């Protein structure tokens, strides 16, 4: 158990809809990362937060947004969903230093129909 | 820009064979960190090892060993006497020293260990 909690585990929704994915980092970790993994693909970095502030941005679509709250949990909002957004979305946390490994949650599997 | 290359997309071996997974990285930083992660068929991502750029000592943990060579910008992972449970996708990753920004993953190598 990595200590990172992601909810929900599975999400099935229709095109055009909006969903929110939630992540609780490990106790003591200040940094949260979001990654997207499409079928048989690698890990695409979306966005990173550190202690409530956006720290780095990857190839995140404009339809997607995220935030990290004062209690350090994070939410990833996906709107105007398309079929191609179907993927496994991972949250990871770390203490926020460069040498800190990322600890991943079990992911949220999003299916857009 | 930082980059991680894992040239082997898929590898198949028979149980008990040794296998090496290659990882080549690019960075302009002098201080950086390298990682390996395992993603078994169940889907979770498991942290295996971290290596600092200033520590080129190889590391062995049971059947796993890692060879870090700055001269060739490589951080290769060897599994000795592979087992079916080693079947997974393995990712190599690179992080800079600045608050863990630019945590970049390679494309992964899918290892299948056949009984």
Tell me the pLDDT of chain B averaged across its residues: 91
8 A C-beta contact, residue B39 and residue B91: yes
Q: What is the pLDDT of residue A9?
A: 96
Instruction: Considering only residues B38 and A1, tell me which one the structure prediction assigns the higher pLDDT.
Output: B38
Coil, strand or helix: which one is A84?
helix
CA atoms within 13 A on the CB side of B102: 17
Residue B96 scores a pLDDT above 80: no
- By the CB < 8 Å criterion, does A43 face chain B? yes
Average pLDDT over residues B46-72: 90
pLDDT at B100: 58
pLDDT at residue B101 is higher than 70:
no
Q: Write out chain B residues lying below 8 Å of A101, CB-based.
A: 35, 47, 50
Per-residue pLDDT, averaged over B105-113, amounts to: 95
Please tell me which of the candidates B50, B99, B102 has its beta carbon nearest to residue A101.
B50
Q: Is A107's Cβ below 8 Å from some Cβ in B? A: yes
| B100·A107 Cβ contact <8 A | no
DSSP structural state of residue B108: -
Is the pLDDT assigned to residue B97 strictly greater than 70?
no
What's the confidence (pLDDT) of residue B55?
Answer: 84
* B100, B105, B109, best to mutate vs chain A, most A CBs in 10 Å: B100
> Å from B83 to nearest chain A CA?
22
Dump pLDDT digits (tens) for A6-32: 999 999 999 999 999 999 999 999 999
Taking contacts as CB-CB distances below 8 angstroms, the residues of chain A near B100 are 31, 48, 50, 94, 96-98, 100, 102
Q: Which of A50-54, B88-92, B99-103 shows the lowest mean pLDDT across its residues?
A: B99-103
pLDDT of A77 higher than 90: yes
Whether B51 contacts B31, CB under 8 Å: no
Q: Which residues of chain B neighbour A100 with C-beta distances below 8 Å?
A: 100
Report, as an integer, the average pLDDT of B70-75.
94
Q: pLDDT averaged over chain A?
A: 93
CB-CB under 8 Å, A50 with B108: no
d(CA A42, CA A52): 27
pLDDT-derived band at A39 (thresholds 50, 70, 90) equals confident
Cβ neighbours of residue A62 under 8 Å, at least 6 residues apart? none
Report the pLDDT averaged over residues A65-92: 97
**pLDDT for B99:** 58
Could you give the maximum distance between any two Cα atoms of chain B, in Å?
44
Residue A105 to chain B, least CA–CA distance (Å) = 7
Q: Which of A48-52, A105-109, B27-31 has the lowest mean pLDDT?
A: B27-31
Long-range contacts of range B39-45, CB-CB < 8 Å, 24 or more positions apart? B39/B88, B39/B89, B39/B90, B39/B91, B39/B108, B40/B85, B40/B87, B40/B88, B41/B87, B41/B88, B43/A88, B43/A106, B43/A107, B44/A2, B44/A104, B44/A106, B44/A107, B45/A43, B45/A90, B45/A92, B45/A104, B45/B91
Residue B98 scores a pLDDT above 70:
no
Q: What is the pLDDT averaged over residues A34-57? A: 89
């Amino acid at each position: 158990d990595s200590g990172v909690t992601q909810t929900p585990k599975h999400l099935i929704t229709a095109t055009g809809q909006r969903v929110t994915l939630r992540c609780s980092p490990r106790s003591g970790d200040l940094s949260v990362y979001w990654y997207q993994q499409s079928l048989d693909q690698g890990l695409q970095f979306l966005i990173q937060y550190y202690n409530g502030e956006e720290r780095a941005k990857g190839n995140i679509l404009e339809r997607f947004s995220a935030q990290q709250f004062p209690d350090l949990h994070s939410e990833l909002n996906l709107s105007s969903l398309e079929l191609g957004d179907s993927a496994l979305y991972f949250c990871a946390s770390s203490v926020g230093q460069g040498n800190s490994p990322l600890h991943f949650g079990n992911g949220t599997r999003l299916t857009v129909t | 820009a930082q980059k991680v290359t894992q040239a082997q997309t898929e590898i198949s071996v028979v149980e008990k064979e040794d296998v090496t997974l290659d990882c080549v990285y690019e960075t302009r930083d002098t201080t950086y960190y390298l990682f390996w992660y395992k993603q078994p068929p169940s889907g979770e991502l498991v942290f295996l090892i971290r290596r600092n750029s200033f520590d080129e000592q190889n590391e062995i943990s049971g059947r796993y060993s890692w060879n870090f060579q700055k001269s060739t910008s490589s951080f290769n992972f060897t599994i000795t006497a592979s087992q079916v449970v080693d079947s997974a996708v393995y990712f190599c990753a690179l992080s800079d020293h600045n608050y863990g920004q630019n945590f970049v993953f390679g494309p992964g190598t899918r290892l299948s260990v056949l009984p």
